[in-house]
């Protein structure tokens, strides 16, 4: 079948409903959950039937997805009593997994994803500045201090995730909230790779303090610009990492 | 000040919605009281009657209820420090138990004690309406939560409650708002808009009190109808 072009929105309207196969989508969701830390190392996955019901797919699809994750060495399946599928993190933990994903993305894809994340974060910050109450400000301020005080990489990631979700929730927008959590899985997890460095973390903490103060002062434009700037800075550091992380020529 | 006719119609529409939510919460609260009375060490199984009440409320034709249940005070139950006996209606209409991490060591655990729908009824001893808010901790919906304290021998044992989605609330309120010739909005105690008949102040927006011409309280609950200038 030839590919038709009807006009500028063709890609949005006439693209296949699901670009990835069902098993790949399920595998992707589960590996997102692992990278986000929702499924910890050694955690047992729900049974195939439960997973199928939760995700609204057939058990055959789930089985194929689990096979993909096993071949990526993210899952271990044990038979018999006490058996089931267990999460197995690669060496280096979630960071190792994020690094693996980082290598699969080109610089231009990373830049494009970061642009979208900056736009969503900026938009959420602007609406949070419009719609936040004093209570919302207090919660965001606490989350920002938790982020600044966090020392362990995992702790920093969770605090950052929480702060970003709170900003999206304060925007009073279910769509922005969904966009934030989707992008957190897709690119947030990669940006977190740069947070292990104390100097970078310090810079980010300073940024979040400015963000909080602009939201609390109800300055939407300033809040948007700080939030966008924060993603742009993190994305530049991530792209540096991506470029220096390039495997030797014979491997690529 | 007594409300003019159109504002009163909006207050009545709010009343219908609020009564539906609190009737469900009351039935759940009564069930929990009846089952837990005189039991020094209640357990999860003692809450088994909550499910049928919540499911029936959600299944009624035209029901606005999106979720309902009981959330236990910390340390109320033997074996479960934190516990939500809560049921939700899925998009396809099926009822489902809401499972959230209640083990404080688990990833995704969040202490519900400081949250308004739990804390306000505990502190004031009175029913409360939380929202509109994006519930990022339980259901991920844009919702209103109606909750009331459950007391056992005068001691706080948890909250019974019901959720109504913001879309369902809008369906209930928009017809009466539309039929008013004045600019009216329904806002909560923070001045956060739930519904209105103007595009310049919509759900989620904060009311600028300076633009308010008059304000009509809804009983002694944190919702009111305002007329905009």
Mind listing the pLDDT tens digit for each residue in A141-152?
Answer: 999 999 999 999
**Gap between the terminal Cα atoms of chain A:** 34
Which A residues in the span 162-201 are in contact with B, Cβ-Cβ below 8 Å? 165-166, 168-169, 172-174, 177-178
* Residue span of the structural domain in which A149 resides: 94-244
CA–CA dist A69, A51 (Å, integer): 14
Give yes or no: residues A212 and A108 share one domain. yes
Give yes or no: residues A76 and A111 share one domain. no
Q: Which of A89, A113, A137 is the last residue of a domain?
A: A89
Tell whether A1 is covered by a domain: no
* Contact with chain B for residue A38, Cβ under 8 A: yes
Tally of domains within chain A: 2
Please classify residue A93 by burial: count the beta carbons closer than 10 Å to its beta carbon, then call 0-12 exposed, 13-18 middle and 19+ buried.
Answer: middle
Closest by CA to B130, choosing from B50, B29, B122, is B122
| B107 neighbourhood in chain A, CB within 8 Å | 37-40, 43
Handedness of CA A217, A220, A225, A226 (dihedral sign): positive
Give yes or no: residues A54 and A100 share one domain. no
Distance from CA of A168 to the nearest CA of B (A): 9
Domain edges within chain B: 9-165, 168-228
Which B residues in the span 50-79 are in contact with A, Cβ-Cβ below 8 Å? none
Which B residues in the span 104-163 are in contact with A, Cβ-Cβ below 8 Å? 107-108, 132-134, 136, 140-142
Give yes or no: residues A28 and A102 share one domain. no
Give yes or no: residues A33 and A124 share one domain. no
Tell whether A113 is covered by a domain: yes
Return the CATH number at A122.
1.20.120.530
| A133 neighbourhood in chain B, CB within 8 Å | 190-192, 206
Q: What is the CATH number of domain B9-165?
A: 3.30.450.20
- Retrieve residue B81's tokens: 């420090």
Give yes or no: residues A16 and A112 share one domain. no
- Helices A153-170 & A174-183, crossing angle to 10 degrees? 160
Return the CATH number at A64.
1.10.10.10
- Report the Cα B192 to chain-centroid distance in Å: 15
pLDDT digits (tens, 9 = 90+) for A63-83: 999 999 999 999 998 888 888
Give yes or no: residues A82 and A98 share one domain. no
Tell whether A103 is covered by a domain: yes
Give yes or no: residues A80 and A114 share one domain. no
Tell whether A252 is covered by a domain: no
Please give the pLDDT value at position A251: 45
* Contact with chain A for residue B204, Cβ under 8 A: yes
Please classify residue B173 by burial: count the beta carbons closer than 10 Å to its beta carbon, then call 0-12 exposed, 13-18 middle and 19+ buried.
Answer: buried
In this prediction the pTM is 0.91
CA–CA dist B55, B163 (Å, integer): 13
pLDDT digits (tens, 9 = 90+) for A186-238: 999 999 999 999 999 999 999 999 999 999 999 999 999 999 999 999 999 99
Closest by CA to A24, choosing from A57, A77, A68, A74, is A68
């Amino acid at each position: 079948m030839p590919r038709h072009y009807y006009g500028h929105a063709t890609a949005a309207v006439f693209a296949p409903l699901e670009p990835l196969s069902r098993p790949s989508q399920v595998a992707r969701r589960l590996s997102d959950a692992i990278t986000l830390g929702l499924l910890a190392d050694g955690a047992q996955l729900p049974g195939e039937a439960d997973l199928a019901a939760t995700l609204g797919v057939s058990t055959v699809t789930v089985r194929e997805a689990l096979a993909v994750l096993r071949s990526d060495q993210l899952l271990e399946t044990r038979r018999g009593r006490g058996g089931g599928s267990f999460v197995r993190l690669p060496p280096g933990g979630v960071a190792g997994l994020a690094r693996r994903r980082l290598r699969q993305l080109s610089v231009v894809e990373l830049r494009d994803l970061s642009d979208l994340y900056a736009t969503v974060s900026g938009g959420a910050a602007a609406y949070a500045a419009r719609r936040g109450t004093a209570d919302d400000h207090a919660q965001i301020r606490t989350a920002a201090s938790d982020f600044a005080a966090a020392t362990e990489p995992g702790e920093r990631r969770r605090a950052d995730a929480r702060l970003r979700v709170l900003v999206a929730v304060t925007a009073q927008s279910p769509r922005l909230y969904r966009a934030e959590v989707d992008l957190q899985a897709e690119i947030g997890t990669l940006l977190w790779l740069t947070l292990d460095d104390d100097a970078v973390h310090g810079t980010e903490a300073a940024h979040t303090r400015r963000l909080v103060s602009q939201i609390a002062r109800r300055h939407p434009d300033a809040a948007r610009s700080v939030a966008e700037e924060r993603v742009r800075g993190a994305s530049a550091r991530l792209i540096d990492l991506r470029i220096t992380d390039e495997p030797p020529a014979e491997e690529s | 000040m007594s409300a003019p006719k159109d504002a009163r119609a909006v207050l009545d529409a709010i009343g219908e919605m609020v009564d539906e939510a609190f009737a469900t919460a009351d039935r759940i609260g009564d069930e929990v009281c009846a089952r837990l009375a005189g039991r020094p060490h209640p357990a999860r199984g003692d809450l088994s009657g909550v499910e049928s009440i919540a499911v029936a409320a959600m299944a009624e034709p035209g029901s606005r209820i999106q979720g309902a249940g009981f959330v236990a005070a910390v340390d109320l139950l033997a074996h479960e420090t934190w516990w939500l006996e809560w049921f939700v209606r899925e998009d396809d209409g099926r009822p489902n138990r809401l499972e959230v991490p209640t083990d404080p060591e688990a990833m995704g655990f969040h202490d519900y004690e400081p949250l308004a729908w739990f804390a306000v009824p505990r502190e004031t001893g009175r029913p409360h309406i939380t929202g509109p808010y994006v519930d990022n901790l339980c259901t991920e919906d844009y919702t209103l939560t109606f909750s009331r304290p459950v007391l056992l021998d005068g001691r706080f044992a948890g909250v019974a409650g019901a959720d109504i989605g913001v879309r369902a609330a809008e369906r209930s309120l928009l017809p009466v708002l539309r039929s008013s010739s004045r600019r009216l909005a329904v806002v909560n105690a923070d001045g956060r808009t739930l519904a209105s008949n103007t595009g310049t102040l919509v759900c989620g927006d904060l009311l600028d009190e300076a633009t308010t011409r008059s304000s009509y309280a809804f009983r002694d609950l944190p919702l009111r109808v305002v007329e905009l200038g």
